[in-house]
Amino acid sequence: MKGLASVAFWALGASALAAEPCVTATFDRPLDGATDVVSHVSDVPSVRFPAFWQEGVFDGVRYKITAASEGVVRPLNFVDDWEVSFVCDQATGTCDFDENRAPPEQAVAAAKVIGQCLLGLDLTPDPAPVEVTVEAAEPDITPPTEPDATVPTPTPEPAAAAPCGSAAVDEATEIATLQRLLLLAGQDPGPVDGFLGPKSFAAMGAFVDDPGWNTPISDVIAILDAQLCDAPQSAANE
């Protein structure tokens, strides 16, 4: 199913309609509340690659927003294939949302909040009213019990699993983390210097079909985490 909806957030004056997006005009400021944020700059802007765009994780979904006031929200995992795409217009203060393959309500809500960012509006949504029910407490009439002289044997806590994948890597940037994981996975990304080069893209090609600037770094890290963290467990089960 595919639905198209146009949402006007509220009536705005001319000065508010011209507000800068919350990520700034050059998209170098992370979306408030987002993680794994990567900002990009295109040397030769085009329809597919605007001058500035940003990717990251927000409220349990992956997002991508561009300087063309467009965006898309997708699932974190690689099993679901739904998405919510949207185009915002500051002149009217509205965003058009296109829901594809039945996205969950949380994803639609996250897309609308990100749309507010592109319109330069406050990202904080209005809180929903909460109904509070007060019940009278029943008096405690349980008779006192005799203390148990038996001392229980403490149950030993299970040993914590050793960290794996990106949890075991201590690098300063996301790209350096990716390069270190590629080395652990048996690939050669070149020096772990935090800059993507031909060797890094070639090494990524062993795990993704179309490595390039349009491939989210966080996606490749998730794939490597799944492989590196599953390998010891699979070996132990054999």
Model confidence at 237, pLDDT cuts 50, 70, 90, reads: very low
User: Tens digit of pLDDT for each residue in 69-105?
Assistant: 999 999 999 889 999 999 999 889 899 999 999 999 9
> What are the domain boundaries of the chain?
2-118, 165-237
User: Confidence band (pLDDT; 50, 70, 90) for 127?
Assistant: very low
Tell which wins on pLDDT, 233 or 73: 73
The residues, ordered by sequence, that sit 6+ positions from 88 with a Cβ below 8 Å of its Cβ are 69, 70, 71, 94, 95, 96, 115, 118, 119
Calpha distance 185→226 (Å, rounded): 11
Is 12 in a helix, a strand, or coil?
Answer: coil
DSSP letter, residue 111: H
DSSP for 160-191, please give it. Answer: PPPP-GGGG---SSHHHHHHHHHHHTT---SS
Q: Contact at 8 Å (CB) between 67 and 50?
A: yes
